[in-house]
A = this chain, B = another copy of it.
Amino acid sequence: MVQAEIKRIARDIRTMRTRGAGKIARAAARALKLEAATTRAKTPAEFLRELDDISSLLLATRPTAVSLPNAVRFVILGAKRERGADLQTLRRAVISRADEFIRDSRKAVERIGEIGARRISNGDVVLTHCNSDCALAVIKTAFKQGKRIEAFVTESRPMRQGLISVRELSRAGVPTTLIVDSAVRHFIRDIDKVIVGADSIAANGAVINKVGTSQIALAAHEARVLFFVAAESYKFHPGTLVGRLVKIEERPPKEVANPKRFPGVKIRNPVFDVTPPDYVDLIITERGIIPPSAAYAVIQELFEWRPGEELV
């Protein structure tokens, strides 16, 4: 039986009290660790059944965020490897993997900032879209290193998260310019590098990110402007190895315009779009720089996947 505390964790994710790819993932790891620490299971089999129940509970909270199933999978793999071992060993394995995930995901953003900053040169003008911790870490780290750089930020309709990025960069002292999403191609020749985050990265190196990203990537490609993606490695999507499509969430129309004022009009509000690997120069992760063509090998290694296996 699932504990009250774990239920609360799941509920907080579902109700978006806990939000942001990183926080969600760490909360899930914490829930599994809690179970391992406090389980009343008597046998390994019983314990594994409990883990399965909790996994199902967690996975049902938010269907499209890949960081959540990735955290669960990472922790559960610890137990699976010890299959056949006694209960204590299993519990320790789960706790240790959960701790590892939590620790690593916290360090990842900082590390991405360091690695990515190596690709930002003095004098660069960098454009970012929406509000990505990783992308901003790269810009801010480069700036802190004393590089004289500037930032362009898109508004990022409909939720206008670009305004959050503008504030964050401005507060860090980076000279920042705000533009509407439509103005990217107009300014692209003034930009040296584009750097965005990712919600999911497919096995072929395609990047699923905030809607508009693929348009920016296309404009950058047209003008030979470098296009970087900054993302923790748990943003890679293992299901794409066996052909699963990444579902593109559509959010409520009202975020775009008040539907009542436009009766009979359909309002479509996709949150993400897909940037093909051809337009991505590098993916900056905490594990190093990954060209999109290496996404397949990286996912295979990260998720200890063997060809032919169906990922659960």
Given the interface pairs A176-B265, A293-B205, the reply to whether A211 lies near B224 with Cβ below 8 Å is: no
Please give, as numbers and ranges, the residues of chain B lying within 8 Å of A242 by CB-CB distance: 115, 118, 288-289
**Contact between A179 and B256 (Cβ–Cβ < 8 Å)?**
yes
Given the interface pairs A204-B293, A289-B240, the reply to whether A266 lies near B116 with Cβ below 8 Å is: no
Q: Can you list 15 A-B pairs, Cβ within 8 angstroms, ordered by A?
A: A118-B244, A118-B245, A121-B245, A157-B182, A180-B181, A180-B256, A181-B182, A182-B215, A183-B268, A184-B215, A186-B270, A203-B294, A242-B289, A293-B293, A294-B297
List chain A positions with a Cβ less than 8 A from chain B.
Answer: 111, 115-116, 118-119, 121, 155-158, 163, 166-167, 170, 175-189, 192, 203-205, 210-212, 214-215, 218-219, 222-224, 233, 240-245, 248, 256-257, 262-270, 273-274, 277-278, 281-282, 284-298, 301, 307-309
**Contact between B204 and A183 (Cβ–Cβ < 8 Å)?**
no
Other 9 A-B pairs with CB < 8 A, given A157-B157, A175-B266, A288-B307: A111-B308, A155-B256, A166-B265, A176-B266, A177-B266, A183-B211, A204-B291, A205-B291, A224-B224
The A interface is mostly helix, strand or loop, or mixed, namely mixed
**Contact between B211 and A180 (Cβ–Cβ < 8 Å)?**
yes
**Contact between B265 and A170 (Cβ–Cβ < 8 Å)?**
yes
Please give, as numbers and ranges, the residues of chain B lying within 8 Å of A233 by CB-CB distance: 307
Q: How far is the CA of A67 from the CA of B224 in the complex (A)?
A: 29
Closest to A241 in B: B288
**Contact between A166 and B214 (Cβ–Cβ < 8 Å)?**
no
Kindly identify which residue among B156, B178, B210, B245 contacts A267, using a CB–CB cutoff of 8 Å: B178
**Contact between B166 and A186 (Cβ–Cβ < 8 Å)?**
no
Given the interface pairs A178-B256, A183-B270, A296-B294, the reply to whether A262 lies near B170 with Cβ below 8 Å is: yes
Please give, as numbers and ranges, the residues of chain B lying within 8 Å of A265 by CB-CB distance: 166, 170, 176-178
Please give, as numbers and ranges, the residues of chain B lying within 8 Å of A289 by CB-CB distance: 203-204, 240-243
**Contact between A245 and B119 (Cβ–Cβ < 8 Å)?**
yes
Q: How far is the CA of A218 from the CA of B221 in the complex (A)?
A: 11
**Contact between A180 and B293 (Cβ–Cβ < 8 Å)?**
no
